[in-house]
Structure 1
Amino acid sequence: MSDWRPGLYLKFADERTRPARDLLAQVPLQDPQSIYDLGCGPGNSTALLVERFPQASVTGIDNSPAMLDAARIACPSARFLDDDLTDWMPDWPPALLFSNAALQWVPGHLGVLERLAGTLGEGGVLAVQMPDNLMEPSHRLMQEVAEQGPWSETLRLASAARDPLPAPIVYYRRLKPLFSRLDIWHTTYNHPLQGAAGIVEWVKSTGLRPYLDPLTECERVAFLADYESRLAEAYPEDDRGTVLLRFPRLFLVGQR
């Protein structure tokens, strides 16, 4: 895939940061010394960690050079490293491993979570939030367009769609033996956006990327036109042209 586009991602900075705030509010630590922000993106979640724990050593991990450049500007007091979460390991037992909307992109992320949990120090916390929205119209429709358009074979070979998240009980059974306490919950956000075009802008920087990247420019234009027309039917506008984008997210917080 092409590199991430921080400016496009941050068009909805408040909405994208809100789940990180909600996750951080449930972290049961007072004074952690070493914190890693896994999949830190443009540094919006890292800034929250620095603000709450100003005495901690905070390190952001991401494999997008563009996102890391933006993060270093947004949060100069933190350290940032270019690495892949698929096999990344901390140099020493951390107090907090924090990840906001990143691990859903990592193949076999349940195994990654198990490995990361094993690196925590005594009392350490793993706090994770992942979108759980593949059954929402916003994502079902992009898959429909991918399968029914003239680009279907291209996208099939590119494996554009990410895998759905397992059920909460799967996470609980795999991870509970590694923690003294494990909380898992869902929160559904409802984001007001300006019509179907607003939903397209929202997902362009995230869920649509694997679908659009393999296409030619002409194919992208046609894909987006088809997708937006289907969204307009699935998300009727109110008299002000507003739609609500329903967005479920899975949260888990485990403490060793």
Structure 2
Amino acid sequence: MSSHFMIWNAQGIANTTTQGTFKNMIDMYSILFAAVLEPQTDPQPSFFNRRFGLQFRCSNTNGKIWIFSHRDWQVEVIDDSEQVLHVRVSAAIFPFSIYLSVVYAKCSREGRYDLWNKLRDISLATDGAPWLVGGDFNIFLLEEERQGSTTDRHGEMMDFADAVADCQLLDPGFDGPPFTWTRSGLWERLDRVFLGEHWTTVHLDEEWAPIPFGWERYYDDPEMLQFHKRSTVHLISLPRDFNKFKSIHMYDIVVKNRNEFEVRDT
């Protein structure tokens, strides 16, 4: 999908420099959903709405997770706790609601026990629905995700790995530097994103994204979804099985909807 999501550990968003950096990222990457971790200030919805161009939607119970989104998106808080803010997101460009759990984990192993159990509970509640989990987990999964220390953290890593397995979460990989946090010669990958297993089994239906852009169902095929826009010769063909969705399909949608998407050469 063309929608862009961002989760950023700002470590304080009250100063103008950090606000400017955040606004630049929103503009540069066409962000429509943004979560801020560790804002270290009180929410000021009217100010931040103007500053960032996104609507402040909610914060978690201890104020360490904030969520912003595009003004036309609906964000509903489903579960609010100290280490995770779980929301349901609905927008016209989505064929279905999606669930997002934004994480800001505690630093101690014992403190994260509640987080792992909360994610297990959320996993059961969202079973069968598209689910994205991301944020700062304050622990890494693999030894190669750390550099500059030999402290034994195997038990903490296993806690994390067990929670990921129990929730049937998938790591989609990443682009960029291998580490997300550093201090005094220690480098670790603490921030990451997971997808719920059911992302791989999502099937497209009549509510798929071209519909809001003026496209109509064109031909009934058990394997494909086809859409046609009146007064044009354009036709979009998509696989019903999301597992078979490829970049060429997204390219087709974007190029034939240039007024709704920003098309860039890469």
TM surpasses 0.5: no
Q: Give the number of the structure whose residues are more often strand, by fraction.
A: 2
Higher Cα Rg: structure 1 or 2?
2
Report 1 or 2 for greater relative contact order, CA contacts < 8 Å, sequence distance ≥ 6: 1
TM (norm. structure 2) is 0.35
Q: Give the number of the structure whose residues are more often helix, by fraction.
A: 1
TM (norm. structure 1) is 0.36
